[in-house]
Amino acid sequence: MKSLSAITLAAGLTLSMAATAGPVTVNFEGLANNTAIGNYYNGGAGTNYGISFGANARAFVGGVTGTFTGEPAPGDTIMLWTSGNSTSASMTGGWTGSLSFYYAGTAALTVSVLDAAGTSLASSGSLAGVGGGNCGLGVALCHWNQYTIDFSGTASSVSFLGAAGLIGVDNVTFGSTGGGGNVPEPGSLALAGLALAVLGARALRKPA
In the predicted structure, residue 25 carries a pLDDT above the cut 90: yes
Helix (H, G, I), strand (E, B) or coil at 169: strand
In the predicted structure, residue 1 carries a pLDDT above the cut 70: no
**String of DSSP letters for 79-140:** EEE-SSSEEEEEEEEEEEEEEEEEEEESS-EEEEEE-TTS-EEEEEEEEPP---TTS-TT--
Lowest mean pLDDT among 34-38, 163-167, 178-182: 178-182
- Rounded CA separation 181/174 (Å): 9
Q: What is the pLDDT of residues 112-171, one digit of tens each?
A: 999 999 999 999 999 998 766 678 777 888 889 999 999 999 999 999 999 999 999 999
What's residue 104's pLDDT? Answer: 93
The mean per-residue pLDDT over the stretch 27-55 comes to: 97
Binning the chain into helix, strand and coil, the percentages to the nearest 5 are: 20, 40, 40
What's residue 140's pLDDT? Answer: 82
Average pLDDT, the chain: 81
62 confidence band (pLDDT: 50, 70, 90): confident
Q: For residue 91, give Cα distances in angstroms to 1, 12, 41, 169, 191.
A: 39, 25, 10, 17, 19
What's residue 20's pLDDT? Answer: 34
pTM of the model: 0.75
Percent of the chain with pLDDT over 70: 71
- Rounded CA separation 7/196 (Å): 6
